[in-house]
Amino acid sequence: MHLYVLAGLSIFSLFAGFAIGRFSDKWGGHLPTPHHWIYGLILVVFGIYYIRSALGVFGLSFRIGHFVSDLDDFLHMRVFGRDVPHRWKFWSIK
State the pLDDT at residue 77: 77
For residue 86, the tally of other CB atoms under 10 A from its CB is 11
pLDDT over 80 at 18, yes or no:
yes
pTM higher than the cut 0.85: no
pLDDT at 73: 74
pLDDT at site 66: 76
CB neighbour burial string for 48-61, b if at least 16 within 10 angstroms, e if fewer: eeeeeeeeebbbbb
Give, in order, the Cα–Cα distances in Å from 53 to each of 6, 12, 57, 83. Answer: 11, 17, 7, 36
What pLDDT is attached to residue 89? 64
Between the ranges 30-34, 50-54, 58-62, where is the mean pLDDT highest?
Answer: 58-62
